[in-house]
Structure 1
Amino acid sequence: MTTVLLYTAGVVFFVGAILVSIGLHELGHMIPAKRFGGKVTQYFIGFGPTVWSKQVGETEYGVKAIPLGGYVKIVGMLPPGAEELAGPVEHDAQGNEVHKVRKSNTGLFTQLVSDARSAEYETITAADEDRLFYKMPPWKKIVVMAGGPSVNILIAFLLFWTVFSTYGDMSAASAEPAPGRPVVAEVSRCVIPYSEQRTDCREGDPDAPAFEAGLLPGDTITDFNGTAVTSWDQLRGLIRDNASGAAVIGFERDGQREVGRTSTTVELRPDDLTGEDETLTEVGFLGVSPEAELVVPTGGPLYTIERMGSLTVDTVQAIGTLPVKVFEVGQAIVGVEERQADSPVSIVGGGRIAGETASTTEVPGGDRAFSLLALVAGFNLFIGVFNFVPLLPLDGGHIAGAAWESVRRRLAWLRRRPDPGYVDVARMLPVAYGFGLVLMVMGVVLIIGDVVAPISLAG
């Protein structure tokens, strides 16, 4: 019963945290839009049927039934096409002038653009003319559209900072030999050439020197060829420098001093002890591994920025391979292959991971709490970076349009040519619809995959 409650609590926490993140993302758009004089008529979390809403001033705030995103409605996102402007001025029921857009266009894509413009301007009056989004200076448009994903990245930073500065960065954790005299954790039964990268002993493999010397796991090595040993790094250097020479090894076992005699063997091993350089060098080899402890690095804001830089690069690479990864999830759904542990997940999969994390009672509660924070931080980083992709309907598409508008206006000014006017992002709507459809299909595939072929922490 406790496990079920913890699992449910983990799912609820994760979903709630993502919904809060979505709400803050939309505030990142709405607040600067209003500050710059724009008109925001709707602020909603979720999609589909409205569950609750309230009108406050000129903005309707609400929640919709499907918690897979959110939106704010900023008036005048699309500029009217010059060739589509209506002739006579029309008026609404209150007598206000209404800006109309013709719908008479030929061609499927042209009609899509025309219909979108028409819907955009159905409720716009003359009083709104100076508050239309497309009329804002390019830098203001960029601030408004970058505000949302920037909030997600800020959330990720604050959460990662909290985790890294207290619990530590588990993704960068490493096993390092315990301080003090080396305690043997493992003794090799035989000598296996480094280049073969195997762990099983085969016929013809010579006995490892440590095995010949009688060393056992749990022994504490105290000296090597008469030199007192105080650390693993020191012992490792003595062994490597000994080449194929005789080795007298002093060690303690159950409080008793013992001595083992053997000869180290010469092996080709990496010369760089950090593992970054794989150049092989002939060195002495004994065949023991020391007891190690997990070292988890910690750090403040600068460390967090550095780590987020690396994580952002990984995220960009993941976005680049997203279609392939989603296709692999589709194969896992129909049973063609196993679901990969590094495959992308939807909010459903994230909820399952959060539930498993919260209900793993073998792990201390503090560790589970910090793992949940890191999970939410990772989702926010992905949402933020993904929304900067310069394609509509993502925020990055509008940012790219505003940036191009600024560039071409500056170029026109430098060349003393007429102002080219606003960039018509509506012309990219067919691409936006196509890309939006692709995103929807990928989302559905991931959700189904997270249900029928989920990723499990238990592997």
Structure 2
Amino acid sequence: MLVVVGIIIFFLGLLFSIAWHELGHLATAKLFGIKVTQYMVGFGRTIWSRKKGDTEYGVKLIPFGGYIRMIGMFPPKKDEKYGRTASSAPWRAMIEDARQMSAEEITPEDAHRQFYQRSPWKRVIVMLAGPVMNLILAVGIFAAILMGHGINTPTTTVSSVSACVLPATAPNTEQCPADAPPSPAAAADFRPGDRILEFNGKPYASWDELQLAIRRSAGTVPVVVDRGGQQLTLQANLMQTDRPKLNSTSEYEKVGFLGLTPTSQLVKQDVGGVAKTIGGFVSLTAQKVVELPQRVPDLINAIFGGERHQDSPVGIVGASRLGGEVLASDDYGVDARIIMMFNLLAGVNLSLFVFNMLPILPLDGGHVAGAIWESLRRGFAKLVRRPDPGPFDTARLMPLAYAVSLIFIAYSLLVLVADVVNPVKLF
């Protein structure tokens, strides 16, 4: 029951995130006098709608996105007010059909309220407003959690010591195989509760810095620890072994291995700490978005019974299942589970921000890139005293936009199937 409740709650949170995104486009479009005919959450058949003023507000059957419909997204063809030019080229037909569909909504009284007529900076604001709304929501959630609750921060105190060294891909087990070598930490007599003061002659105040030093080391290294108020120097013979790359569960590299797990404690962050942490989240999210094409083989492998990594891409179905898993987990208290769900929701909004900023149509970033290019082109023409080249005709990019859309749909279906047959599991 808790799983179902968690899925429903998280699903509603995702729908709110979509509606919140589109609200940014809607508010700024109306602010600049652009006519918006539709504000919809979802795609496909309309299951509820209501018209207020110029705009129809509604919810559609397929809840995998949303949109607003602005008139005049494409400028008319030069030397022609509106209309379609016959051509044998399929891509030319796509361009003219897109232009004609855009023109069909325009009435004489609304001819001055078209999107393309607005200054490039206004169009940039309208298209950026959606992703920025997702960023605002993500930052608000993360900031509230980081400053009000705190973040689990590893310390330099030892929580547990690995008894032996196992391959990075080996399943977790409390028992060591007979042929497994003891871990360097166990051989050096590290114990839970030891606080590491120095590693290889240098003091370290944070686990992150200490972890990097360990991964970069090899051979015998002196480690000074505080054990019950007494300082001891332990000699650890670090070994090189394959371990997951930092911030990854599917990529490996050969690094120095000691065999310690640190304790952690909740640390509330100040404004500077929040900015640094969220900056790291944005950087990591951007990296994962860029890596999406590389994930296709893993997704296909997962569909046919292979391993589904925790950092594998998920869609709205997979994200909702994660929300259900978090709420139903017995390993954490109610407060911790609620915070984890909000963290997941913030992460989804951060992903929506980064993904929509990609400078390709039909994403928001593609329209932003078109407006910026138009501004640069007009500025250059003015500088060299040439005639104004007019608005940039984004309709010419529609064949590319259709191709990108098909790729996105295919990728989304691949992720959907993987989320159903082999979902990502946090625990």
Could you say which residue in structure 1 is the equivalent of 2:299? 329
Q: CA deviation at 1:116?
A: 0.8
Match of 2:212 among 270, 276, 289: 276
For residues 181 and 8 of structure 2, the distance between their equivalents in structure 1, rounded to whole angstroms, comes to 58
Q: Partner letter of residue 141 of structure 1?
A: R
Could you say which residue in structure 2 is the equivalent of 1:49? 45
1:426 is aligned to 2:403: no
Could you say which residue in structure 2 is the equivalent of 1:457? 426
Could you say which residue in structure 2 is the equivalent of 1:20? 16
Q: CA deviation at 1:46?
A: 0.5
Could you say which residue in structure 1 is the equivalent of 2:266? 296
For residues 203 and 56 of structure 1, the distance between their equivalents in structure 2, rounded to whole angstroms, comes to 70
- Describe the superposition over 1:408-430 as per-residue Cα deviations: whole angstroms up to 9, x where unpaired: 11111111111111000011100
Change (3 A) 1:60 1:208: closer
Change (3 A) 1:338 1:34: same
Match of 2:195 among 201, 226, 232: 232
Q: Secondary structure at the match of 2:112?
A: helix
- Describe the superposition over 1:388-407 as per-residue Cα deviations: whole angstroms up to 9, x where unpaired: 10000000000000000111
Q: Partner letter of residue 156 of structure 2?
A: E
1:377 is aligned to 2:346: yes
Change (3 A) 1:396 1:290: closer
Q: Secondary structure at the match of 1:37?
A: coil
Q: Partner letter of residue 293 of structure 2?
A: P
Q: Partner letter of residue 81 of structure 1?
A: K
Could you say which residue in structure 2 is the equivalent of 1:359? 328
CA-based RMSD:
3.1
- Describe the superposition over 1:94-146 as per-residue Cα deviations: whole angstroms up to 9, x where unpaired: xxxxxx41242331000001011111111312222211100100000000000
For residues 73 and 85 of structure 2, the distance between their equivalents in structure 1, rounded to whole angstroms, comes to 18
Q: Secondary structure at the match of 1:9?
A: helix
Counterpart contact for 1:169–1:297, Cα < 8 Å: yes
Change (3 A) 1:408 1:186: closer
Q: CA deviation at 1:291?
A: 9.7
Counterpart contact for 1:168–1:299, Cα < 8 Å: yes
For residues 204 and 322 of structure 1, the distance between their equivalents in structure 2, rounded to whole angstroms, comes to 37
Q: CA deviation at 1:186?
A: 5.3
Q: Secondary structure at the match of 1:71?
A: strand
Could you say which residue in structure 2 is the equivalent of 1:176? 156
Q: Partner letter of residue 320 of structure 1?
A: V
For residues 427 and 202 of structure 1, the distance between their equivalents in structure 2, rounded to whole angstroms, comes to 65
For residues 399 and 150 of structure 1, the distance between their equivalents in structure 2, rounded to whole angstroms, comes to 13
Counterpart contact for 1:349–1:454, Cα < 8 Å: yes
Change (3 A) 1:290 1:22: closer
Which has the larger Rg? 1
Change (3 A) 1:270 1:427: farther
Counterpart contact for 1:157–1:305, Cα < 8 Å: no
Change (3 A) 1:338 1:63: same
1:39 is aligned to 2:35: yes
Q: CA deviation at 1:318?
A: 1.1
Counterpart contact for 2:185–2:260, Cα < 8 Å: no
Q: Partner letter of residue 232 of structure 1?
A: R
- Describe the superposition over 1:149-172 as per-residue Cα deviations: whole angstroms up to 9, x where unpaired: 0000000000101111123224xx
For residues 321 and 208 of structure 1, the distance between their equivalents in structure 2, rounded to whole angstroms, comes to 35
Q: Secondary structure at the match of 1:130?
A: coil
For residues 417 and 426 of structure 1, the distance between their equivalents in structure 2, rounded to whole angstroms, comes to 24
Provide structure 2 residue ranges, at least 5 long, that are not aligned to the other structure. 166-175, 205-209, 223-232, 237-257
1:285 is aligned to 2:234: yes
Q: Partner letter of residue 453 of structure 1?
A: N
1:126 is aligned to 2:108: yes
Counterpart contact for 1:210–1:286, Cα < 8 Å: no
1:67 is aligned to 2:37: no
Q: Which range is displaced more, 299-308 or 68-77?
A: 299-308
- Describe the superposition over 1:246-299 as per-residue Cα deviations: whole angstroms up to 9, x where unpaired: xxxxxxxxxxxxxxxxxxxxxxx6866524333556535367999963123321
Normalized against structure 1, the TM-score is what?
0.75
- Describe the superposition over 1:368-407 as per-residue Cα deviations: whole angstroms up to 9, x where unpaired: 0000000000000000110010000000000000000111
Change (3 A) 1:209 1:342: closer
Q: Partner letter of residue 276 of structure 1?
A: L
For residues 399 and 301 of structure 2, the distance between their equivalents in structure 1, rounded to whole angstroms, comes to 29
Counterpart contact for 1:326–1:344, Cα < 8 Å: no
Counterpart contact for 1:167–1:298, Cα < 8 Å: yes
- Describe the superposition over 1:196-235 as per-residue Cα deviations: whole angstroms up to 9, x where unpaired: xxx8897999x99999xxx8978x9xxxxxxxxxx834xx
Q: Secondary structure at the match of 2:415?
A: helix
Match of 1:441 among 397, 405, 410: 410
Change (3 A) 1:121 1:282: closer
Q: Secondary structure at the match of 2:59?
A: strand
Q: Secondary structure at the match of 2:426?
A: coil
Q: Secondary structure at the match of 2:146?
A: helix
- What is the number of residues matched between the two proteins? 378
For residues 113 and 204 of structure 1, the distance between their equivalents in structure 2, rounded to whole angstroms, comes to 66
Change (3 A) 1:9 1:415: same
Q: Partner letter of residue 94 of structure 2?
A: L
Change (3 A) 1:361 1:31: same
Q: Give the 5 Å matches for 1:35-434.
A: 35-82=31-78, 85=80, 100-170=82-152, 173-177=153-157, 232-233=195-196, 273=204, 274-277=210-213, 278-279=216-217, 283=222, 285=234, 293-335=263-305, 337-434=306-403
* Fraction of identical pairs, as percent: 35
Q: Secondary structure at the match of 1:295?
A: strand
For residues 440 and 73 of structure 1, the distance between their equivalents in structure 2, rounded to whole angstroms, comes to 20
For residues 148 and 358 of structure 2, the distance between their equivalents in structure 1, rounded to whole angstroms, comes to 33
Q: Which range is displaced more, 304-313 or 153-162?
A: 304-313
Q: Secondary structure at the match of 1:50?
A: strand
For residues 186 and 443 of structure 1, the distance between their equivalents in structure 2, rounded to whole angstroms, comes to 42
